[in-house]
Amino acid sequence: MSSINEAISKIGVVPVIKLSRPEQDAAPLAKALCAGGVPVAEVTFRAAGADTAIRLMKEACPEMIVGAGTVTTREHIDATIAAGGQFTVTPGFDPDLVAYAQEKNIPIYPGCTTPTDYHAALKFGLELIKFFPAEQSGGLAKIKAMSAPFPQFKVMPTGGISLKNLAEYLKAPVIAACGGSYMVTADLIDNQKWDEITALCKQSRSIVEEVRNG
């Protein structure tokens, strides 16, 4: 895998973040994630100013891997790159966006849940794909079934992942990392509960280490 993909896989969990106040919350959130051993973030364009949040998080914690989620346009990709973002994530498979991201030399993880999606990803030479929404689309059972005809891919499931099922997902060799918002909920961010975020990240990393190291 590429260096970014390997780094994300090593961390094992990817916080999926919606920031409504990036100027206020991006920097302390980045520090809280890093303190919890999770130096990675997917900042979604579901809220305005995602590119600002990416820039501020990278400035606060240069060692972090920060990318953009809910990328649905070429402009989102351009804004991510301009902000110093290191990867992009799309909700579904859009061949135009995949081609554009590859042209711009930034990793892209498209949402794939069907054999048709996987086949399209194969044609673009992708090695890591998002499975979204994971639980609602068949969960781990479907991911395992899909890996039979498509063993080329590592998968990053997102949607319905929590501390309760994180270990179950990570035990499957096909899983590179799990995306989730349980450690960065609106309540935690809006009320600036940075210590709680750090604690949830530490719990998540403990699960990753326990699964990966036996």
Active site members: 42, 130
d(CA 208, CA 214): 10
Contacts of 90 (CB under 8 A, 6+ apart): 70, 71, 72, 97, 98, 108, 109, 110, 111, 130
d(CA 69, CA 72): 9
Tell me which amino acid residue 74 is: R
3-state helix, strand, coil in the chain (%, to 5): 50, 15, 35
Dihedral (CA of 150, 154, 158, 163) sign: positive
Q: How far apart are the first and last CA of the chain?
A: 23
Paired strand residues for 157: 131
Tokens of 103: 């042209």
